[in-house]
Structure 1
Amino acid sequence: MAYHFKFKKVLTVKEREKDEALDMYNQSVKRFEETANELYSLMKKKEDLETYQSERLVVGLPVLEIRHHQHFVHNLEKSIDHFQKVVINARNQMSYYQERLMEKNTEVKKFEIMKEKSELAFLTEMKQAEGKQMDDISIQQFMNREN
């Protein structure tokens, strides 16, 4: 008699849900990394521009060029503010999917533990039945010798 776990279909569904949650988490991590890299590049660009402008101010810089740089820095700051919000949103989303993944993982673990316990109970029952059957055979052989 082969072992059959009574919650096998439920375990399969839970494992599929866990895989989907893992996929969503990985996508959110990727989105977070992309937006964080974009934010970093904008901040680096702003820093480089400010360094360049301060170096040029020492030598002398026309007013028009100063205005141009200030306008460009202002636009970069707007972009940085926007990407900071996007990064915060992506981080929150990543945390949410991480929590969901942990929940799904826990659910799968519970069913796996149930399966292990059920399997151990089945094996114990089979050994007991086998032992009883062996005892019955031994008794029958002993009785046949007597006759």
Structure 2
Amino acid sequence: MKFNYKFQHILTLKEREKEETFSLYEESVRQFERAAQKLYELLKKKEVLEQFQSEKLETGYSIQKIRHNQIFVHNLEETINYWQKQVISTRKEMKYWEEKLLESNIEVKKYEKIKDKSYDYFQQWVNHYENNQMDEIAAIQFQHRKGN
């Protein structure tokens, strides 16, 4: 006899959903890492620029160059603000897919547990059936020996 799990199709669908959710989660992690890396690079660039500007102010710097650097720093700060929002947004998306992945894992585990219990019940039934068959065979053999 072969074990046939009645919810196998549902389990297969849940496993496929879990795999899709995992790939979406991985993609959201990559997007978050890219945004965080870009933000880090911009912050580092701003730090270097501010240090350069500080050194130049001590040694003497023309007003035109100071204004030019201030405009550049202002634009850099706007870009940093944009990437900070991107990091927050991608972090939220990553957390969302992480929660969905956890839910998918739980769903798959539920169906796997049901499958395990069904298989255990099936095994008990098969053992009981085989024992009954053996008892019947033994009774028939006993009847044949008794009749001879």
Give the TM-score, by structure 1 length: 0.98
- Structure 2 residue aligned with 1:140: 140
- Deviation, structure 1 residue 143: 1.2
Matched, 1:9 2:13: no
Q: Which region of structure 1 is more displaced relative to structure 2, 54-63 or 17-26?
A: 54-63
- What is residue 78 of structure 2 aligned with on the other side? 78
In structure 2, distance between residues paired with 1:4 and 1:26:
34
Shift of 1:58: 1.5
More divergent stretch after superposition (54-63 vs 23-32): 54-63
1:2 is paired with a residue of what secondary structure? Answer: coil
For 2:104, the equivalent position in structure 1 comes to 104
Identity of aligned residues (%): 48
3-state SS of paired residue (1:92): helix
Distance 2:82 2:29 in 1: 19
CA deviation map 1:37-63 (0-9, x unaligned): 111111000000001111111111111
Aligned to 2:18: 18
- Cα distance between partner residues in 2 of 1:106 and 1:122: 24
Task: List, as ranges, runs of 4+ consecutive aligned residues in structure 1 with deviation greater than 2 Å.
Answer: none
Distance in 1, Cα, partners of 2:73 & 2:44: 12
For the residue of structure 2 that corresponds to 1:61, the secondary structure is: coil
**RMSD over aligned Cα atoms:** 0.7
Deviation at 1:28, TM superposition (A): 0.5
Which amino acid letter does the alignment assign opposite residue 108 of structure 2? V
Distance 2:131 2:28 in 1: 55
What CA distance in whole angstroms lies between the structure 2 residues aligned with 1:120 and 1:61?
Answer: 83
Paired positions, count:
147
How far residue 139 of structure 1 moved from its aligned partner, in angstroms, is 1.1
Q: Provide the residue aligned with 2:59 in structure 1.
A: 59
Give the C-alpha shift of residue 114 in structure 1: 0.4
List aligned pairs for 1:25-40, cutoff 5 A: 25-40=25-40
The corresponding residue for 2:69 is: 69
Alpha-carbon shift at residue 76 of structure 1 (Å): 0.5
Instruction: Give distance in 1, aligned partners of 2:68 and 2:38.
Output: 23
- Provide structure 1 residue ranges, at least 5 long, that are not aligned to the other structure: none
Please give the alpha-carbon distance, in whole angstroms, between the structure 2 residues aligned to 1:91 and 1:76. Answer: 22
**Post-superposition offset of 1:111:** 0.3
The residue that corresponds to 1:131 in the other structure is 131
